[in-house]
Structure 1
Amino acid sequence: MTVIKNAKVLLNDELVQRDVQYKDGKIVAISKVIDDTNDRYFDAKQAFLTAGLIDVHVHFREPGFEYKETIATGSKAAARGGFTTVIAMPNLNPVPDNPKLLADQIQRNTDNGLIHIAQYGAISANLTATKISDIKGMAEAGAAAFTNDGKGVQTADTMLQAMQAAASVNKPLAAHLEDDSLLHGGVMNAGATAQKLELPGITGLAESTQLARDLVLAKATGVHYHVAHISTKESVALVRMAKSAGVNVTAEVSPHHLLLADDDIKSDNALFKMNPPLRAQADREALISGLLDGTIDMVATDHAPHGSEEKSKSFRESPFGITGIETSFQLLYTHLVKSGVMTLATLMKRMVASPAETFQLKAPTNIAVGEVADLALFDLEHESDITVDDFQSLGKNSPFVGWRVFGKTLATWVDGEIVYEDQTK
């Protein structure tokens, strides 16, 4: 057996010191003091111990784009970020858009991952077809949910059929909201910064108009409809209104949309290029409010690694997306919890309990006897720098490099096995 000594755990929304003992991958005892000469010990040194974080939106790029990321490197990055369970997106090559490819991808995730990796199936072939995929067959093959992430579903009929199929198998349908007819070649948020940098803008209407359509369809079908990487104040208002009307809708927000706005972009620097783009300060404030009041159910990183060369190009030429799974807890703890915007308990609910419950994941949501020992240990007391040299991800494309943060990950356990341990502590 192993005892994690001198840990701080959340109990009734307060941090209290506890020892946590686990055996054969499960927690067997929690007490103020556990002394057993037969145990191995891990000294937490008063750091914060929690159930492992859960991310429902990651891109691990394998197969097809291994120069950006692999399942091995992506899961190492996740472990370094304190994540023990993720759901991987289907924009791969080949796209897992049928039961065989989906089953193959699940096996690939299992064979190569350090952590628990669930898998999305594609709504339609190649993420772009108007005819929906075999959603029932993919659900039987193990799909956690369905999405065409990276592409908006352009026709209402395709979305209606997908919702009906997802509802019939009781699986969530996650929407990347993007009306292609409103993009006009945009590469960042339409607004004063785009005008100043002489770059084409993307109106928030490309997101919110598709969301309005989908919420009506979701109400009609009863599907569990999930909004990926929500970014505008109009979208937050629509989700809030839909929830009050009884629509089965949930939503996620990415750390970068909570912490940055388009006026933080001072030059043509593609490390700030993501989809949806960084919006205005009013949108950022609405997202924080939505996360606080539960309109937005969870944080999801949209971890999107790219090669250094392609992200060194201009906004016009570089691909959308930033890496984020290694820095999300640190950034949010520092800028939302330590600053007093939200409590640590609320942040953990949005990063652990809500994702697990919303997507019906077999993952622990608290530290309790009998739970699987999927755990993460964070240093809340000391500052550290975000540096690319420490990244486990192949992607170094983060606008947060150089930021000073609290909450560094000290160790991560999956099924009672240490899969990451900080060597600088």
Structure 2
Amino acid sequence: MSYDLILKNGEIVFPGEGMRRGSVAVADGKIAAILEPGEETRATRVIDCTDRLVMPGLIDPHTHIGFGDKENDWLTETRTALLGGVTGLFSFWRSDDFNATTSPWIDSAKAQAAMDFGLHFGVTATRHVEELAALSQRFGVTSIKVYLMYKGAAGAAKGFGEVDDALLFRALQAGARIKGGVVGVHCENTEVIPVFREPLKAAGRDDLPVWDEQSPGFLETENVFRVAYFGEKAECPVNIVHMSAVESLDLVRRLRHEGRPPINVETCIHYLSLTKDSGIGNLGKVNPPLRSQADVDGLWEGVRNGDISTIGSDHVPRKRATKGPDIWQATAGFPGIAQILPVMLHEGWSKRGIAIETLAAATSSNVADLYSVPNKGRIVPGFDADLVVVDPEGETHVDAANYPSHSDYSPFEGMTFRSAVTHTILRGQILAENGTLADGIVNPGRYLHRNP
């Protein structure tokens, strides 16, 4: 038999299972076969993957497309992601009227995106909760997010006047009625933050560590308890997104019990590689804040043992100019989608010896499972041929100028990570090769309409 593409004699990574040498054969955009080492067959193109890793393409579960240049973010950010081995993403979509605005937003993505994409609905009003059942059916969105950081004055400043515990519980009740539904929550007690913030501002503090001090980790943990407990009572699976504090993870471990709704945990690469003491100043402002090295190490142990099931970037493609003039006025968030795999392999696999199949699960198969995405996230015949080839002995040096992102900086700027992506493949199409995007990418991205 002849195939379209063969990734020959690589170390194939099977998420959650292990790694073994072999070749991956691709035909008609699908994984057609897993071949034994040395097994000869024909293909239109053969890539020698000797001493290379062949992994499932990454699916970033946590991005904010449209928060940089709304008209062009789908174009620039998906192409940036391809250079880092990402072949799919989910982005948070907020709107006063989901019924009226979601189709145009999806259409704009279809016209620009270079990879497959899905949406999470950001719930900020009672109206959204009341419409969720119909919205889920119409748009194939099974995942929603509630922003506890937008309660009270913090929400009013953003134009959100209905975010409270009642909205949270209603959202959990609605999520429980959606097949495959999961409710993600930003956990951060903004009602207590002023107790810390006001004296720190009065003292004239203007440094990165103060952002952690004004919203310490236990304010995340307190909200985690509320979300998990309400989730149990509403019989709804929850997802603690972008967990930053190891104390929060310790609490989740105590709250998990057989027979109760799942408490899923997501963290992000910056909480696994950067700290409040990283010396990057205002560029490191993010919500929740960067924490201590002890938090970084503790979260990594959560990845190792599976207590943390998914890892994303929380990618926000704004400009460096928005990160000032001081820590208090700087925008929160930063880009990072192209650094997921370099951070995972350098910090997790190389430095800490975490099994690569565990990392692949957290960045591919677990994401597909949690968000009900069929035929993605694994290297299995019949699945989409979304693949990434990695040179484990290569290096990735982070320079924002090397990416087409709207953002012009990186919190990882100047860092060098062991490993380098050599090929990114979406449904059998080689879209990035040796640090360069393929010529003439004609927006191959498809919308992930989920119907569990």
- Fold match (TM-score > 0.5): yes
- Cα-to-partner distance string for 1:52-109 (whole Å, 9 max, x where unaligned): 11111011116xx416961111111221121112111124xxx275233223323332
Matches within 5 A, 1:251-400: 251-265=265-279, 269-311=281-323, 313-400=325-412
Partner residue in 2 for 1:160: 169
With 199-208 and 153-162 compared, the bigger mean Cα shift is at 199-208
Partner residue in 1 for 2:191: 181
The 8 Å contact of residues 84 and 338 in structure 2, kept in 1 or not, is answered as yes
Point out where structure 1 has 5 or more consecutive residues left out of the alignment.
Answer: none
Deviation at 1:13, TM superposition (A): 5.7
Matches within 5 A, 1:4-23: 4-10=7-13, 15-23=19-27
For 1:47, which of 48, 52, 62 is the aligned residue?
A: 52
Distance across 1 between alignment mates of 2:381 and 2:89: 23
Aligned length: 413
User: Judging changes above 3 Å, is the alpha-carbon distance between structure 1 residues 319 and 286 closer, same or farther for their aligned structure 2 residues?
Assistant: same
Q: Secondary structure at the match of 2:357?
A: helix
The 8 Å contact of residues 375 and 382 in structure 2, kept in 1 or not, is answered as no
Q: Does 1:231 align with 2:241?
A: no
Distance across 1 between alignment mates of 2:294 and 2:171: 33
User: Judging changes above 3 Å, is the alpha-carbon distance between structure 1 residues 319 and 363 closer, same or farther for their aligned structure 2 residues?
Assistant: farther
Matched letter for residue 263 of structure 1: D
TM-score normalized with structure 1 length: 0.88
The 8 Å contact of residues 253 and 300 in structure 1, kept in 2 or not, is answered as yes
The 8 Å contact of residues 17 and 46 in structure 1, kept in 2 or not, is answered as no
With 206-215 and 129-138 compared, the bigger mean Cα shift is at 129-138
Partner residue in 2 for 1:121: 121
User: Judging changes above 3 Å, is the alpha-carbon distance between structure 1 residues 69 and 409 closer, same or farther for their aligned structure 2 residues?
Assistant: farther
Q: Secondary structure at the match of 2:104?
A: helix
The 8 Å contact of residues 96 and 102 in structure 1, kept in 2 or not, is answered as no
The 8 Å contact of residues 393 and 420 in structure 2, kept in 1 or not, is answered as no
Matched letter for residue 82 of structure 2: A
Q: Secondary structure at the match of 1:184?
A: helix
Partner residue in 2 for 1:136: 133
Q: Secondary structure at the match of 1:409?
A: strand
Matched letter for residue 176 of structure 2: A
Point out where structure 2 has 5 or more consecutive residues left out of the alignment.
Answer: 152-162, 438-452
The 8 Å contact of residues 96 and 121 in structure 1, kept in 2 or not, is answered as no
Deviation at 1:348, TM superposition (A): 0.9
Partner residue in 2 for 1:66: 69
Matched letter for residue 384 of structure 1: T
Q: Does 1:415 align with 2:427?
A: yes
User: Judging changes above 3 Å, is the alpha-carbon distance between structure 1 residues 166 and 47 closer, same or farther for their aligned structure 2 residues?
Assistant: same
Deviation at 1:161, TM superposition (A): 0.6
Higher RCO (C-alpha 8 Å, min separation 6): 2
Q: Secondary structure at the match of 2:256?
A: helix
Distance across 2 between alignment mates of 1:84 and 1:238: 33
Distance across 2 between alignment mates of 1:178 and 1:348: 29
Partner residue in 1 for 2:29: 25
Percentage identity across paired residues of the two chains: 22
- Cα-to-partner distance string for 1:194-232 (whole Å, 9 max, x where unaligned): 968494622223322222111111001111111110111
User: Aligned-pair RMSD on alpha carbons?
Assistant: 2.9
TM-score normalized with structure 2 length: 0.83
Partner residue in 2 for 1:212: 225
Q: Secondary structure at the match of 1:378?
A: strand
